[in-house]
Chains A and B, each alone.
Chain A
Amino acid sequence: MTGVGFGRLLRRDLLLVLRQGGDALLTLAFYLLAVAIFPFGVGPEPQLLARIAAGLLWTMALFAALLSFDRLFQQELEDGGLEQLALSPLPLAWSFLAKALAHWLATGLPLLVAAPVLALVLQLEPAAIPVLVAALALGGPALTLVGAVGAALTLGARRGAVLLPLLVLPLYIPVLIFGVAAVDAAASGLAARPHLMILAGYLLATLPLAPWAGVAALRLALE
């Protein structure tokens, strides 16, 4: 008999997403709608939209990501799956990473695909679109990792869904700043590389820190 492994947990979570669908589609639908609704508020002038496109696409990506976290561990806690994962030979940090990766593939990747299309609609400088995708590819997983820590910390808390954004949003600010700066730099013909490097650095820092913090929070929730 072989116990749960990283790959098997990842595959099962993706299978659950495929069968249940709901959360992943909701996140994407929210993103599309929230961005599409903006021109109604600020007016449809192309120059204005092109100027705010980077900031708009990024802030809405943050909000869309926030929407998706509250069920990440809650369901596992309620059905006893988390207890079993904590008792399986696979270190809980790997389980945390597998679940975060599955969550990003289900919710972050669709945003990554939708963003260039939305960017074209908003008349973002075409030269900046590859940079937007690269920035979302580096920043998105970091958002997911930090959000997963928030989800673990608010496990079992009353009003966890309200508490989570308060905990997580301040940590999202660096990703927002450098994500937008990268796209703006590319749109005005400057080098985006330094900004992308900082995003990569943020991701590299969260990669070991988030599982470490997340596991501590999960174990606390199980006591």
Chain B
Amino acid sequence: MSPPDAAPFTGHDLLCRRGERVVFRHLGFALRPGGVLLLRGPNGSGKSSLLRLMAGLLRPAAGELRWDGQRIEAEPEGHRRRLAFLGHLDAIKPALSVAENLGFWWGAGGVGPALAALGIAALAPLPARFLSAGQRRRLALARIVASGAPLWLLDEPTNALDDEAEAMFAAALAAHRAQGGMAVIALHGGEAPPQAELLAFQPATTDAFDEEGLIEA
């Protein structure tokens, strides 16, 4: 067990392989309470893969991810309980209303405040099929806010958001961090959150075989 001020969420010497291609290797990180890890890099450099590794959707080909010193594979359900994941897809059912969509994931209790935090409280009774792309993204972010999970894993969270929504997201993220919450965010452009630790990904170069016969990116 690590002392309380140490990083609860760490990655050690991670190797990620998609098919025969090595997406990244020897990757490590340490995330402290209130910390943000910002993933930057060109398309296809492995930002999304790292997020999926962190969520447990993928398994690292080598290396390990730890929470409080415990490997996350040792208790996958406990790990899922403490994370909220936002991928490229918004997981919204067009036939359900905005409030029903959000309430499905985290119960009806937190729906109001979470929608208000992203400025879409007025849309609550509207069927989700009428939402614009930006409004859908706001609803997906409201799901993250409503989760109350200590670890946010966000893949391009500000896609399709307007300036107002970006500011609201920044405020929600700041509130999350103030309570000791952590976030890993893959961002293509846009403004970095304050005091974020940067993890830069190398661009995928010409494929080359390494000594193990793997294609090295």
Contacts and interface: CB of A to CB of B under 8 A. Distances in A.
Contacts of A1: 106-107, 109-110, 146-148
A177 interface: no
B81 A80 contact: no
Interface string A71-93: 00000001111011011110100
Interface stretch (A2-10, A139-147, A184-192): A2-10
A87 B95 contact: no
A91 B77 CA distance: 7
Interface string B67-86: 00000000001001101010
Interface size class of B (residues with CB under 8 A): 20 to 34
B106 A16 contact: no
A12 B96 contact: yes
Interface string B127-147: 000000000000000000011
Given A1-B147, A79-B92, A223-B57, A84 B85 contact: yes
Contact of A2 (B55, B95, B107): B107
Contact of A3 (B81, B87, B93): B81
Nearest to B88: A80
A77 to B, nearest CB: 9
Contacts of B105: 3-4, 84, 88
A20 B90 CA distance: 20
Interface in A1-30: 1-4, 8-9, 12, 15-16, 19-20
12 contacts: A1-B109, A1-B147, A3-B81, A3-B105, A4-B105, A12-B100, A79-B91, A83-B85, A89-B77, A89-B81, A91-B77, A223-B57
Interface of B: 55-58, 77, 80-81, 83, 85, 87-93, 95-96, 100, 104-107, 109-110, 146-148
Q: What are the 6 A-B residue pairs with the smallest beta carbon separation, nearest first? A: A80-B89, A80-B91, A19-B95, A2-B107, A1-B148, A1-B106
